[in-house]
Structure 1
């Protein structure tokens, strides 16, 4: 299951990054070569950066390549290291659930309820903020997989 999520998420992130590179390149080209700045590319790049940042954080969390301070873990026995890693994963799941999923879902709901749209693209801002609960759900899935196989993911 993890390999399927990794593959799909990785391909989607590459696609989003390609779109962002194209949007920024077009912005620079239209500004300097055509002497007429494109009105929507800055907004596209900004919103793509939000999605890339949040989904990328979930992807990196699943790869266990996120930033961490590893002082206590190496000094512990394997059984205690597994307990420490499990406790950390439970805290990450709690944060992801309450902040990213619950908080993000509330933000999406309020923005859809208010009917807020972006200035240039005229798309609902709730669509942009949807990256929060999606990213939170992905982090939770990755951490549950890690909790179910603690020895496999032990450093």
Structure 2
């Protein structure tokens, strides 16, 4: 199995696991709130952080599968070689954005959160762990788009 397919499979399975944990977490919240009458204190915060991870890692997964939303008016009207050049330009722009915003900005956010010792209110986990998904997703997007760039 190729390396990209392995990453796709691992990332897909991780997203399924996170989603399953989130569903169980929300069901537990509903059960404790409405059946037992005493809502669980950590479930709201955990659901929020899991949703962040689903959204950001899901964006990387969708980017790797080339299923993301795209405006393709210009490439669809261009000829074959011009279409490839436009796609390569788009890949370069995505790589630059992912590097600057997600990887560099994400690592700065993780580093600052770590230095300040920020922890979540209910779970008492370091916020740096929650924010770590941002640079991870950026690295994955860069890998996927670099791979796509080299294929074209």
Asked if Structure 1 and Structure 2 have the same fold, meaning a TM-score greater than 0.5 normalized by the shorter chain, the answer is yes
Match of 2:102 in 1: 100
Distance 2:76 2:45 in 1: 45
Cα deviation per residue 1:1-33 (whole Å; 9 max; x = unaligned)? 210110000000000000000100100011000
Per-residue deviation, 1:63: 0.7
Cα deviation per residue 1:53-94 (whole Å; 9 max; x = unaligned)? 000000000111111111111111111111000000000000
Distance 1:119 1:28 in 2: 20
CA RMSD of aligned residues (A): 0.5
- For residue 36 of structure 1, give the secondary structure of its aligned residue in structure 2: coil
Distance 1:12 1:78 in 2: 37
Match of 1:63 in 2: 65
Cα deviation per residue 1:75-129 (whole Å; 9 max; x = unaligned)? 1111111100000000000000000000000000000000000000000000000
Match of 1:116 in 2: 118
**TM-score calculated relative to the size of structure 1:** 0.96
More helix by share: 2
| Structure 1: tracts of 5 or more residues without a match | 151-155
**TM-score calculated relative to the size of structure 2:** 0.98
2:37 pairs with 1:35: yes
Match of 1:16 in 2: 18
